[in-house]
Amino acid sequence: MTGKEDAFDGGIEVRPPVGPDQLAQVPAKRGVALLEADAGAPIVLLTAADIRARVRTRLAEPLEDAKRKSADLREITRRVRWKLAAGHFEADWRFFELARSIWPREYPSLLAWKPAWFARVDVGEAYPHWWRTQEIADAGGCCFGPFATGKQAERFVQVIQEGFDLCRHVRCLRQAPHAARCAYAEMGRCLSVCNGAVGMEEYRAQVARSAEFVAGERRKVVEALEAAMAAAAKELAFERAAAVKARIDRLAELDAPAMAQAAPLAAFRFVMVQPAATRKAVKVFFVNGGSVAQLAPLKVPLEGRQVAARLKAMAMQARRGAPEMDEAAQWRLGLVSSYLSAGPARAGVIRRWREDLGEEELTRAIEEGAEYLGLKKSGKSE
């Protein structure tokens, strides 16, 4: 790793045995610490709510069992470096970027989070279908998400399949129109493209409608289903009406907390407002796809012009587009996704960025999250 002095906020030389007096210069603040051996060889990278306490613990005399299993860090550590971070997200982000720089091949094994899950559909493929995935680079189609777990992504796919009567078995789909009717088709819960009851192009159009529904075109679909349910009831076709009602109920599940954040990957843009070292400011991060950028902090009391300036900077970055979706970008998506499902005490204030996100809305969100952001008293927008 090059440029360590620029990557870290400070560092000290240490010699064994490392005692409290040697660590007095290490800040007792949240951040990331790197222990180095001779010639700057990295040993271990740590995140900590109190860097000094964490380093002191790691450099304490190991228990007898630990001595037999690993090296005594007291004997090999020659330097301690640190990078301060005021909030949980910043600490994890700093850890990621430092780990990636120090160990460019091994860093994924050091991360505490997993890649995000998405639901993907490719309407243009020969046999269009929905599936869950963590592989989102150069795979075709459109991804929707993120989801914290594969189970959540799988349930999302099931909801779409049930809500639009899509094929559940890709193997049957690939055999269409010469496959036998599956159990779902027998129950009237599938369009039966498998045996040719519905042509592939008509089925493809239904898959396209499902993708448009997820992307936000929801009202027309729900209104059409409600009209179909009312018409069936009027004709006393109660079984058909019940089936349509079941589809409406399934699609309503998309408003549940685990699925409500789902949006096209192209819309993976978030404003993350995090604590700062002082109680008179907050830090602002802009997530643009697989990139994270730290903007100038917002001073408290909040003032409309500075909020508007940060939003303008985000809009400029958004217009430039998201960076290439490489391995590092996918791990950043996973990091941000893990915070979307975290509580406010850890996540701070997070809002999905939109072109129409205004200074009043963002200011109000910061004021409402003042307790979690460590602010003594939030200001009012001018």
Is 378 among the domain residues? no
pLDDT for the residue 107: 97
CA–CA separation, 368 vs 349, rounded Å? Answer: 9
**Same domain, residue pair 154 and 84:** no
Instruction: Identify the CATH number of the domain in which residue 85 sits.
Output: 3.40.1440
Domain shared by 151 and 250, yes or no: yes
Mean pLDDT, the chain, rounded, equals: 89
Alpha carbons 119 and 131: distance in angstroms, whole number: 6
Residue for token pair 């789902």: 262
Q: Which of 110, 143, 166 finishes a domain? A: 110
> Residue 139: its pLDDT value, please?
63
Query: Is residue 47 assigned to a domain?
Result: yes
How many Cα atoms are found within 13 Å in the side-chain-facing hemisphere of 148? Answer: 10
Cα angle, residue 154 at apex, residues 148 and 157 outer, rounded to 5°: 115
Query: Average pLDDT, stretch 92-109?
Result: 97
Amino acid at 108: P
- Using pLDDT thresholds of 50, 70 and 90, give the confidence band for residue 67: low
Question: Is the model more confident about 68 or about 164?
Answer: 164
Same structural domain, 333 and 354: yes
Give the pLDDT confidence score for residue 1 in this predicted structure: 47
Would 379 be classed as within a structural domain?
no
Beta strands in the chain (DSSP E): 10-13, 31-36, 42-48, 79-84, 117-121, 130-133, 142-147, 263-264, 269-275, 281-288, 291-299, 349-352
Q: How far is CA 335 from CA 264, 289, 300, in A?
A: 18, 12, 28
In the chain, what is the straight-line distance between the N-terminal and C-terminal CA atoms, in Å?
46
Is the residue at 374 inside a domain? no
In a domain, 17, yes or no: yes
Of 79, 110, 141, which residue is a domain's last? 110
Q: Which amino acid is at 369?
A: G
Q: What is the pLDDT of residues 79-93, one digit of tens each?
A: 999 999 999 999 999
Report yes or no on 244 lying in a domain. yes
- Do 289 and 191 fall into the same domain? no
254: which residues sit within 8 A by CB, 6+ positions away? 156, 159, 214, 260, 262
Residue 307 within a domain: yes
Q: Verify that 349 and 286 share a domain, yes or no.
A: yes
Residue 373, in any domain of the structure: no
What's the token pair of residue 12?
Answer: 């000290």
Instruction: Give dist(CA 158, CA 154) in Å, integer.
Output: 6
Helix (H, G, I), strand (E, B) or coil at 81: strand
Kindly report the number of other CB atoms within 10 A of residue 220's CB atom: 11
Number of other residues whose CB lies within 10 A of the CB of residue 13: 10
Tell me if 298 sits within 8 A of 281, measured CB to CB.
yes
Looking at the fold, whether 284 and 318 belong to one and the same domain comes out as yes
What is the average per-residue pLDDT within 131-160? Answer: 88
**Residue 143 and residue 56 in one domain:** no
45 & 103 share domain: yes
The count of residues in the chain is: 382
Choose one of 258, 292, 310: the last residue of a domain.
258
- How many domains does the structure of the chain reveal? 3
What sign for the dihedral angle of Cα 117, 122, 125, 128?
Answer: positive
Per residue in 335-363, pLDDT (tens digit) is 999 999 899 999 999 999 999 999 999 99
CB 90, CB 295: distance < 8 Å: no
Instruction: Answer yes or no: do 72 and 200 share one domain.
Output: no
- The residue segments making up the domain with residue 19 are 4-110
Q: Specify the pLDDT at position 378.
A: 45
Distance CA 78, CA 73 (A): 9
> Are residues 158 and 247 both part of a single domain?
yes
Residues 104 and 9 in one domain: yes
Give the pLDDT score at 28.
97
Residues 60 and 131 in one domain: no
Q: Which DSSP string corresponds to 191-228?
A: --TTTTSS-HHHHHHHHHHHHHHHHT--HHHHHHHHHH
